[in-house]
Structure 1
Amino acid sequence: MNNQATLQRMQQLKLQGMAQAFEAILHLPVQQHPATDQLLAQLLDAEYEHRHHQKTKTAIRSARFRYQASLEEVHFLPTRNLDQDQWLRLADCSFIKRAENIFFTGAAGCGKSFLASALGYQACRLGYRVAYYHLPKLLEKLHVAKADASYSRELAKLEKQQLLILDDWGLQPLDQPGKLALLQIMEDRHGKAATIITSQLPVKAWYDYIADPTLADAILDRLLHQAHRFELKGDSLRKKIMNQP
């Protein structure tokens, strides 16, 4: 089999990374072609990297993040009250394996959702299953699911996520079905998976937000155990960006 036929066979087998690498090697002068063992290693590495990249792209698309964000874009301004050491300790996403939760609280525009998205992107790159939800929309979706008998299926999807990001906790009042749905979500994840929550409400106000002593105790007991808290300060970052010349 000649080189062109080999290249076509790779493409037929959908070995895209391998095919691209092999084609690039074929365009090199013959004296620069790697030895057989090196060639095989390079082609396998290229295929692995290609598949990993495609898997990451699919994971990010499925997660539906609010922002395209990365850890490298995070600014540690003194006025933000964002502890750099604490943040960097989370960058390897080992908190997901330990089923630890993270809370980002602070005023509108202080960067809570961006930080949550950055950790979510990092988790996708490391191969974790991640889902990002605007909490009011998620509760509305679950309410509709009860009507068409898909409620259990939707809860099962949430349970499978190794990292669940709930954005805008406390933005809208909770009705009784919403409180019960939250309890079920937290019960399913407690000790098994990680959750990130962003909220304009400080954590100490969450009990009153739930407004049901029994359910509040049950939900917060599952949430607050082994949690990392970031209470962000400062002016709105969105306003600063808009005011830039």
Structure 2
Amino acid sequence: MSNSHLLSLMQTLSLSGMLKTFEAQSEQPQIAALGFEERLSLLLEAEANTRDNKRISRLTKAAKMRQNQAALEDINYHPSRGLDKALIADLSTCQWIDKRQNLVITGATGTGKSWLACAFGKQACRYGYPAIFLTATHLYEQITAATMAGTLPKLRTQLIKSRLLIIDDFGIGGIDIQLGPILLDIIDQHALQGSLIITSQFPTEKWYDLFNDPTVADAILDRVVHKSHFMKLKGESQRKGKLEK
């Protein structure tokens, strides 16, 4: 079988990683010295890597994270920030998502909460977990618009099918009494199959005061706080040094 026919078959079968590697191998005389199994292994590994990268890219794009360049390997571990390397290393395996646990990141404005949430979101995508990033304000706007348009079930389904739902800047402006029950329903259903990352300027002990309905507040806090990992970021604003990490 000629090389041109092999290339045509790879293209027909959408084996782009294998195709690119085969073309590169054709320009390397030393490749001819490899055995069939070894050369085939190189082609298959290239195809697997290409598909994996495409999957990660697709999931990351769909997540619509605010800072899509954020990555755990780029974290700024300055002592003033109070970051726990051991905890981050443990969470980087994403096993907490399999266990349907949550991550709560608190700290003053500018300390890098959103950046860190996006970094964990990207890590989840690397492990194949669908993720959605929303600011709390945008989430409430979507809920309000969907309620008025009669499309709330569709929005709810979209949110709860993600394995990781990231809610950024939780607590800004409080929680409207009409939004509370809907937010509870979304969090309640999402907890059955996924995890949350919530960032907030408010420590969790002050979250109760954000709600106008104490019953809803108790229910949401019970579902989120009691099965969460916690990070409290410290130090000066990272924006001063243009370091969103």
Query: Does the alignment reach a TM-score above 0.5?
Result: yes
> What percent of counterpart residues are identical?
38
DSSP 3-state at the match of 1:235? coil
Aligned counterpart, 2:237? 236
DSSP 3-state at the match of 2:52? helix
Quote how far apart the aligned CAs of 1:31 are.
6.1
| TM-superposition CA deviations, 1:74-98 (whole Å, max 9, x none) | 1222211211111211110111001
Q: Which runs of 4+ in 1 moved over 3 A?
A: 30-33
* 1: CA distance, partners of 2:192 / 2:80: 34
Q: Is 1:192 the counterpart of 2:188 in the alignment?
A: no
Aligned counterpart, 1:149? 150
In the alignment, structure 2 segments of 5+ residues that lack a partner are: none
Q: How many residues align?
A: 242
Q: Which moved more, 1:146-155 or 1:116-125?
A: 146-155
Aligned counterpart, 2:123? 122
Kept in 2: contact 1:25–1:33 (CA 8 A)? no
| TM-superposition CA deviations, 1:120-172 (whole Å, max 9, x none) | 11110111111111111111112111222221111111111111100010112
| TM-superposition CA deviations, 1:148-203 (whole Å, max 9, x none) | 22211111111111111000101123212321221011111225311000001111
* 2: CA distance, partners of 1:208 / 1:31: 67
DSSP 3-state at the match of 2:223? helix
Q: How does 1:28-67 map to 2 (within 5 A)?
A: 28-29=28-29, 32-67=32-67
* Closer, same or farther: CA 147–211 of 1 in aligned 2, 3 Å: closer
* Closer, same or farther: CA 31–134 of 1 in aligned 2, 3 Å: closer
Q: How does 1:14-93 map to 2 (within 5 A)?
A: 14-29=14-29, 32-67=32-67, 68-93=69-94
Aligned counterpart, 2:208? 207
Quote how far apart the aligned CAs of 1:217 are.
0.5
DSSP 3-state at the match of 1:170? coil
Quote how far apart the aligned CAs of 1:240 are.
2.4
Q: Which amino acid aligns with 1:144?
A: A
Computed over aligned residues only, the root mean square deviation of the Cα atoms, in angstroms, reads 1.4
Q: Which amino acid aligns with 1:56?
A: I
Q: Which amino acid aligns with 2:222?
A: D
* 2: CA distance, partners of 1:164 / 1:215: 19
* 1: CA distance, partners of 2:34 / 2:73: 35
* 2: CA distance, partners of 1:108 / 1:150: 34
Q: TM-score, normalised by structure 2?
A: 0.94
Quote how far apart the aligned CAs of 1:33 are.
4.6
